A and B are shown apart, each in its own frame.
Chain A
Amino acid sequence: MISADHLERQLQTIIDGNRILPPQPSIPVKITVFPENEQQISELVKWATKDQITLLPLGGGTHTFSGIEDLHVAISLTKMNHQIEHVSEDLIATVAAGMTFKDVQTDLSSHGQMIPLDQPGKHNSTIGGMVSANVSGPSRHRYGTARDWVIETRLINADGKVVKSGAKVVKNVSGYDLNKLYIGARGTLGILTYISFKLAPIPKSSVTFRSCYNSLTDAFALTHLIRREYLDIEKMVIIKGKWTPGKTKHWWLLIDLAGTEIGIEPQIKHLSKLHDQVEARRWNITSKEDSQHFWNMACNREKSDDTISNEDIWEVRMVLPKRELLPFLVDLTISDEMNVSFKIFPTSGICTIEFVGKKSTVTNILNFIIKEVKVKKGLVEFVKMPPDTNFERWPILPPSFPWIQKIKRALDPNNIFAPGTFIGGI
Chain B
Amino acid sequence: MAIDSIFISNLLSLLGENRVITHPDELIVFECDGLTLHKQMPDAVVLPKSTEEVSEIIKLCQTNHTPFLARGSGTGLSGGAIAVEGGVIIQMSLLNQILKIDYEDEIAVVQPGVINLNLTNETSPDGYHFAPDPSSQKACTIGGNVAENAGGPHTLKYGVTANHVMGLKVVMPSGDIVELGGKIEEFSGYDLVGLFVGSEGTLGITTEITVKLIRNPEGVKTFLATYNTINDASNTVSKIIESGIIPAAMELIDNLVIQAVESHLKAGFPTKADAILLIEIDGVKSTLTEEAKRIESICLSQNAVNFQEAETMEERNLLWRGRKEAIGALGKVTPAFYTNDGVIPRSKLPEILEFDLDIGKRYGLEIAHICHAGDGNIHPIILYNPDNKNEIKHAIKISEAILKKCIELGGALTGEHGIGTEKLSSFGIMYSDNDQNQMLRLRKVFNPTDLLNPGKIFPEGAKCGESRINQTIKKGGWI
- Do A and B form a real pair? yes
Binding site for B on A (CB under 8 A): 87-92, 112-113, 134, 140, 144-145, 147-148, 157, 159, 161-181, 183-185, 189, 200-202, 204, 230-232, 259-267, 319-323, 348-350, 377-379, 394, 396-401, 403-404, 406-407, 410-411, 422-424
A323 to chain B, nearest CB (A): 5
**Nearest CB in chain A to that of B403: its residue:** A174
Q: Is the C-beta of B386 less than 8 angstroms from some C-beta in chain A?
A: no
**Nearest CB in chain A to that of B423: its residue:** A174
A382 to B285, alpha carbons, bound, how many Å? 42
Give the most central of A87, A172, A397: most B CB within 10 Å.
A172
12 A-B pairs within 8 Å (CB atoms) are namely A164-B435, A177-B162, A177-B199, A180-B193, A231-B284, A232-B284, A262-B289, A263-B287, A263-B290, A320-B184, A323-B105, A403-B172
Q: A349 — which chain B residues lie within 8 A by C-beta?
A: 105, 184-185
Q: B286 — which chain A residues lie within 8 A by C-beta?
A: 259, 262-267
A227 to chain B, nearest CB (A): 8
Q: A319 — which chain B residues lie within 8 A by C-beta?
A: 184-186
Q: A177 — which chain B residues lie within 8 A by C-beta?
A: 149, 162, 194-195, 197-199
**Contact yes or no, B105 A407, CB < 8 A:** no
Q: Is the C-beta of B355 less than 8 angstroms from some C-beta in chain A?
A: no
A-B contact count (CB 8 A): 250
Contact with A along B249-280 (1 / 0, CB 8 A): 00000000000000000000000000000000
A214 to B160, alpha carbons, bound, how many Å? 41
The 5 closest A-B pairs by CB, nearest first: A180-B194, A201-B244, A263-B287, A230-B218, A167-B412
Give the most central of A177, A261, A266: most B CB within 10 Å.
A177
Give the most central of A91, A167, A266, A404: most B CB within 10 Å.
A167
Q: A180 — which chain B residues lie within 8 A by C-beta?
A: 162, 191, 193-195
Contact with A along B39-55 (1 / 0, CB 8 A): 00000000000000000
The contact of A348 among B185, B418, B443, B446, by CB within 8 Å, is: B185
B131 to chain A, nearest CB (A): 12
Q: A350 — which chain B residues lie within 8 A by C-beta?
A: 185-186
**Contact yes or no, B194 A181, CB < 8 A:** yes
Given the known interface contacts A174-B419, A232-B283, A379-B188, the answer about A201 and B246 at a Cβ–Cβ threshold of 8 Å is yes
**Contact yes or no, A169 B439, CB < 8 A:** no
Given the known interface contacts A147-B191, A176-B439, the answer about A403 and B178 at a Cβ–Cβ threshold of 8 Å is yes
Contact with A along B305-338 (1 / 0, CB 8 A): 0000000000000000000000000000000000
Q: Is the C-beta of B444 less than 8 angstroms from some C-beta in chain A?
A: yes
**Contact yes or no, A90 B195, CB < 8 A:** no
Given the known interface contacts A177-B149, A178-B439, A406-B445, the answer about A321 and B376 at a Cβ–Cβ threshold of 8 Å is no
Given the known interface contacts A91-B241, A260-B291, A404-B190, the answer about A171 and B105 at a Cβ–Cβ threshold of 8 Å is no
The contact of B191 among A92, A184, A202, by CB within 8 Å, is: A184
Q: Is the C-beta of B451 less than 8 angstroms from some C-beta in chain A?
A: no
Contact with A along B75-106 (1 / 0, CB 8 A): 00000000000000000000000000010111
Q: Is the C-beta of B28 less than 8 angstroms from some C-beta in chain A?
A: no
Q: Which of B4-12, B111-119, B339-347, B468-476 contacts A (4 or more CB under 8 A)?
A: B339-347
**Nearest CB in chain B to that of A379: its residue:** B188
7 more CB-based (< 8 A) A-B contacts, given A173-B419, A185-B190, A267-B286 = A91-B241, A148-B163, A167-B410, A167-B411, A183-B194, A231-B284, A264-B287
**8 Å CB interface, B178-225 against A:** 178-180, 182-195, 197-200, 217-218
A202 to B245, alpha carbons, bound, how many Å? 10
How many of B's residues come within 8 Å of A, CB to CB? Answer: 90
**Contact yes or no, A176 B199, CB < 8 A:** yes
**Contact yes or no, B346 A164, CB < 8 A:** no
**Nearest CB in chain B to that of A147: its residue:** B194
Given the known interface contacts A319-B184, A398-B189, A407-B442, the answer about A175 and B284 at a Cβ–Cβ threshold of 8 Å is no
B192 to chain A, nearest CB (A): 5
Q: A231 — which chain B residues lie within 8 A by C-beta?
A: 284
Q: B444 — which chain A residues lie within 8 A by C-beta?
A: 410
Q: Is the C-beta of B461 less than 8 angstroms from some C-beta in chain A?
A: no
Q: A159 — which chain B residues lie within 8 A by C-beta?
A: 434
Q: A148 — which chain B residues lie within 8 A by C-beta?
A: 159, 163
B329 to chain A, nearest CB (A): 24
**Contact yes or no, A400 B163, CB < 8 A:** no
A422 to B189, alpha carbons, bound, how many Å? 8
**Nearest CB in chain A to that of B432: its residue:** A164
**Nearest CB in chain B to that of A163: its residue:** B438
Q: B439 — which chain A residues lie within 8 A by C-beta?
A: 175-176, 178
Q: Is the C-beta of B405 less than 8 angstroms from some C-beta in chain A?
A: no
A174 to B435, alpha carbons, bound, how many Å? 12
**Contact yes or no, B412 A321, CB < 8 A:** no
**8 Å CB interface, B107-150 against A:** 148-149
Q: Is the C-beta of B415 less than 8 angstroms from some C-beta in chain A?
A: yes
Given the known interface contacts A169-B412, A266-B286, A400-B178, the answer about A89 and B347 at a Cβ–Cβ threshold of 8 Å is yes
A49 to B246, alpha carbons, bound, how many Å? 46
**Contact yes or no, A157 B345, CB < 8 A:** no
Q: B423 — which chain A residues lie within 8 A by C-beta?
A: 174
A364 to B160, alpha carbons, bound, how many Å? 43
Give the most central of A172, A174, A403, A424: most B CB within 10 Å.
A174
B220 to chain A, nearest CB (A): 12
B321 to chain A, nearest CB (A): 23
B243 to chain A, nearest CB (A): 8
**Contact yes or no, B442 A411, CB < 8 A:** yes
Q: Is the C-beta of B356 less than 8 angstroms from some C-beta in chain A?
A: no
A185 to B194, alpha carbons, bound, how many Å? 13
A144 to B415, alpha carbons, bound, how many Å? 21
A30 to B31, alpha carbons, bound, how many Å? 60
A92 to chain B, nearest CB (A): 6
The contact of A89 among B187, B200, B241, B437, by CB within 8 Å, is: B241
A150 to chain B, nearest CB (A): 10
**Nearest CB in chain A to that of B440: its residue:** A176
Q: A183 — which chain B residues lie within 8 A by C-beta?
A: 191, 194
Q: A157 — which chain B residues lie within 8 A by C-beta?
A: 434, 438
Given the known interface contacts A167-B430, A404-B189, the answer about A322 and B104 at a Cβ–Cβ threshold of 8 Å is yes
A379 to B415, alpha carbons, bound, how many Å? 33
**Contact yes or no, B189 A401, CB < 8 A:** yes
A323 to B444, alpha carbons, bound, how many Å? 38
**Contact yes or no, B442 A178, CB < 8 A:** yes
The contact of A171 among B160, B288, B436, B438, by CB within 8 Å, is: B160
A173 to B78, alpha carbons, bound, how many Å? 11
A411 to B186, alpha carbons, bound, how many Å? 22
Q: A400 — which chain B residues lie within 8 A by C-beta?
A: 178-180, 189, 192
**Contact yes or no, A163 B434, CB < 8 A:** yes
